[in-house]
Amino acid sequence: MKTTKKILLPESEMPRQWYNIIADMPIKPLPMLHPATKEPLKPEEMEGLFAKELVEQEFSTERYIDIPEEVRTLFKIYRPSPLVRASGLEKALDTPAKIYFKNESVSPVGSHKLNSAIPQAYFNKIQGVKHITTETGAGQWGSAMSIACRHFGLDLQVFMVKISYEQKPYRKFVMNTYGADVVSSPSTLTQAGRALLAENPNTNGSLGAAISEAVEMAMTKPDTKYTLGSVLNHVILHQSIIGLEAERQMEMADDYPDIVIGCFGGGSNFCGISFPFLRHNLNSGKKTRFIAAEPASCPKLTRGRFEYDFGDQIGMTPLIPMFTLGHDFQPASIHAGGLRYHGAGAIVSELQREGLIEAMDIHQSETFRAGILFAQAEGIIPAPESTHAIAATIREALKAKEEGVEKVILFNLSGHGLIDMASYDKFLLGELSDFSVPDEDIAASIAKLDKLIK
Amino acid sequence: MKTTKKILLPESEMPRQWYNIIADMPIKPLPMLHPATKEPLKPEEMEGLFAKELVEQEFSTERYIDIPEEVRTLFKIYRPSPLVRASGLEKALDTPAKIYFKNESVSPVGSHKLNSAIPQAYFNKIQGVKHITTETGAGQWGSAMSIACRHFGLDLQVFMVKISYEQKPYRKFVMNTYGADVVSSPSTLTQAGRALLAENPNTNGSLGAAISEAVEMAMTKPDTKYTLGSVLNHVILHQSIIGLEAERQMEMADDYPDIVIGCFGGGSNFCGISFPFLRHNLNSGKKTRFIAAEPASCPKLTRGRFEYDFGDQIGMTPLIPMFTLGHDFQPASIHAGGLRYHGAGAIVSELQREGLIEAMDIHQSETFRAGILFAQAEGIIPAPESTHAIAATIREALKAKEEGVEKVILFNLSGHGLIDMASYDKFLLGELSDFSVPDEDIAASIAKLDKLIK
């Protein structure tokens, strides 16, 4: 078939099952540990916090898990999402590489987060839960849960990381429009929040702290469960729909990726686009490279340690076997709020240990340049998070040009930046900090981008 | 075919020609008049201001006009746009009406305006123009021209209505990201702007004033042309792609609309979705109703007079035969900035005179309630402009329910509201003014909506 700009799957071909990579991993991830006993966590110990079916998914070793029909119906608001040939970017880079991106920005909240928010709200609903708590960094996950909870008639309390609450007021308004309650975290609603505020009244907040608050409220309030937008196995499972669709769309385009790239916070969009392709590395000898693009100021995969660590700042969650910067790590206030998390999920950490995936860390000033070049070439202004994937893609496409090889690169456009325009404004005014001095290589990358931006 | 949630046209079936309704009008619109001589305007008199091919389109009586291949290629970034069955809204209203919407919010700037920005930039480019001026109300048209001008390597100066410049900073940042210069209008860059500021330093600005400024700069600066995002015949022509696609998509859904609805500023999105269907009223005896939904605070079609009037505030443009509130009308500072224009285009005014279309005026407080109900039912937060079309749709769907008849309603979702979230915040805080007291009927509509919003 002749490749069009957008490669569209009909609704009827939307996947009916999620893919669980654990079934295909040669070495399984280590178990989570109970925070008090340090014994392997049992499913029933998670059920106080999470809906029962989500806990089953968390521990499942089944290769494929059915997507409920009610969830699929809601997905049709925006799924299947388009696979797009980035012909404008290819031209701007003058590269022999063929660049595709999966456009997850088409969801009503502008990101991939709805892929897990809908099933999480659904499984809570059918169990009779009334109230949901969650945290949000950039606000993408909170917005997604707001829609999903509204649809299923659940109340939602969102703890929004303070720096994002201040930098991204529009995100709060979006959540309010869908009927959610949003507070700045650390808040005075929880013991955890009050303790953190007492310790440092001027804190920027962090995802780790917001998680502590949301978990505490879920554990202490009746008919209440907690939801998380990344890191955990069941979230990664839900996000596999991205890669499963992309796989069929690449077939339609008669191509297969040499490199798959996603930005990396806790793993949800990177794993979502990667794992269905990584399956073929594991099972059929494919040699695709998988690159997790993370911020230089929060480099858990490139510079963190692999160890058991808490998922939250206070230490209320189970211990997770993860690449981590330490659960009390305070990331700089970069605009990619969704990537300001100290650790990586258990599955992706295990894959990184075994060298089955790669990681790349990128400075903020390079990512915004990449974002502007992409916007000018493809029309879409990317989310600050997604600009990390774009910057990594540009690096690889320019390398392909230097080497004169035709690579097929697929990246995930996890979201658009229209609700984060204040960050672009700051960048254009020269007011964005890089938090650390770029080394020579990075300075060279930045100089290349400056030449390409018109 | 079984109706899916989204009805998608493949890129290969995107229209190859625009539809010009003038060819089918039983009574043609009156000619525009030269502002000095009051004689019918000649094409060559417009060529100082507009690209030659756009002037040809402005005066054309051909039924179909080819879309250049380079324009179609760029359209593929977001077109064909989906036709969506509003099953969530139908359920929320418990109506027997079948509601469809054409989702123009999927464009990278979030509105239908790119449909005319791309061809306008293209025709200027091939003529060798270097600089473009334009005005923008809500910022949707300015954002669209920014992308289009960046693509074709044209400089762009945007005059943004002062009230929107202040209410919608993110729109300005979007334009800056694509490389456009944006000033608040009235500005000190033009004689017109300086005169208006001298007269009233605290003016909110208006589209009419911003047009005066953009026209003046285009007439006085070398290699510079002006572009307009609504009102004129060639803009309406470009927007016909909305209705042409919708027509094929309704066929795919095996339906045909009894009512077509669009919000109304100068006419671009209303005419775009309506005229290809109105063609079948004119030619094949169809009886579809067409409803232009305009703000109660700027009601040119429902309460204006049909007369020759200027398109701008100062009186620099040709005289247009239009329904108008007077070219010096100062609309209230409603958030639907794109609808704050004093007049309607010549074609649509003529159709209104003959009773071939209808108009409905709606208060701001009803539109925001409609917007929130839609967001909660369909997931998408609509632009303040588009909420007018949604409010009219809801009125008609509830009427169908009262009458127990199954109507097919099609409306145009001209854009999403993610860049206008500050207005939703104000509404939710109870800080939005209605500018006039709603009468009993309107109060009843509002009360109905309040019951439906969860």
What pLDDT is stored for residue B3 in this prediction?
62
Cis peptide, bond prior to residue A108, ω within 30 of zero: no
What pLDDT is stored for residue B443 in this prediction?
84
For residues B258-264, give the mean pLDDT.
98
**pLDDT higher than 50, residue A1:** no
Note whether A174 contacts B77, CB cutoff 8 Å: no
CB B335 within 8 A of CB B167: yes
Domain architecture of chain A: domains with CATH? 75-110+233-452 (3.40.50.1100)
Residues 6+ away with beta carbon under 8 Å from B197: B186, B188, B203
Provide the token pair at B428.
């939710």
Convert the pLDDT of each residue in A321-353 to its tens digit: 999 999 999 888 778 888 989 999 999 999 999
Q: Count CA atoms within 13 Å of residue A171 on its CB side.
A: 35
Share of chain A above pLDDT 90, in %: 84
What pLDDT is stored for residue A430 in this prediction?
86
- In 10 A of CB A153, how many CB atoms? 10
**pLDDT higher than 60, residue A226:** yes
The beta strand positions in A164-275, using DSSP E, are: 181-185, 224-226, 259-263
* Residue in this structure with the two tokens 């119906």, named with its chain if needed: A73
Q: How far apart are CA A2 and CA B87, in angstroms?
A: 34
CA distance B210 to chain A (A): 23
Q: How far apart are CA B336 and CA B323, in angstroms?
A: 20
- Please tell me if residue A180 touches chain B, with a CB cutoff of 8 Å: no
Note whether A73 contacts B147, CB cutoff 8 Å: no
* Residue in this structure with the two tokens 């929320």, named with its chain if needed: B92
Q: How far apart are CA A273 and CA A246, in angstroms?
A: 7
**Mutation target vs B (from A70, A156, A177; most B CBs, 10 A cutoff):** A177
C-alpha B96: how far from chain center: 29
**pLDDT higher than 90, residue B323:** yes
Q: Is A381 helix (H, G, I), strand (E, B) or coil?
A: coil
Q: What average pLDDT is seen over chain A? A: 94
Q: How far apart are CA B204 and CA B162, in angstroms?
A: 5
Q: With bands split at pLDDT 50, 70 and 90, how would you rate the model's confidence at B1?
A: very low
From the list B76, B150, B419, which residue is nearest A5 (CB)? B76
Provide the token pair at A317.
């969650």
ipTM of the modeled complex: 0.92
For residues A212-241, give the mean pLDDT.
97
- In 10 A of CB A299, how many CB atoms? 18
From the list B6, B172, B379, which residue is nearest A11 (CB)? B6
CA distance B275 to chain A (A): 27
**Mutation target vs B (from A106, A173, A175, A178; most B CBs, 10 A cutoff):** A173
Note whether A419 contacts B424, CB cutoff 8 Å: no
Nearest to A270 by CA among A143, A392, A122: A392
Pick the residue from chain A with its C-alpha nearest to B425. A173
Pick the residue from chain B with its C-alpha nearest to A174. B421
Helix (H) or strand (E) segment spanning residue B409: strand B408-413
Pick the residue from chain A with its C-alpha nearest to B83. A77
Torsion sign, CA atoms B11, B16, B22, B23: negative
Q: With bands split at pLDDT 50, 70 and 90, how would you rate the model's confidence at B115?
A: very high
CB A422 within 8 A of CB A168: yes
Note whether A422 contacts B4, CB cutoff 8 Å: no
Pick the residue from chain A with its C-alpha nearest to B87. A77
**pLDDT higher than 90, residue A431:** no
CA distance B327 to chain A (A): 33
Q: With bands split at pLDDT 50, 70 and 90, how would you rate the model's confidence at B17?
A: very high
Convert the pLDDT of each residue in B72-100 to its tens digit: 999 999 999 999 999 999 999 999 999 99
Share of chain A above pLDDT 70, in %: 98
Share of chain B above pLDDT 90, in %: 84
Decide the pairing of beta strands A319-324 and A305-310.
Answer: antiparallel
Provide the token pair at B295.
């703000």
Convert the pLDDT of each residue in A107-159 to its tens digit: 999 999 999 999 999 999 999 999 999 999 889 999 999 999 999 999 999 99
**Mutation target vs B (from A6, A165, A419; most B CBs, 10 A cutoff):** A6
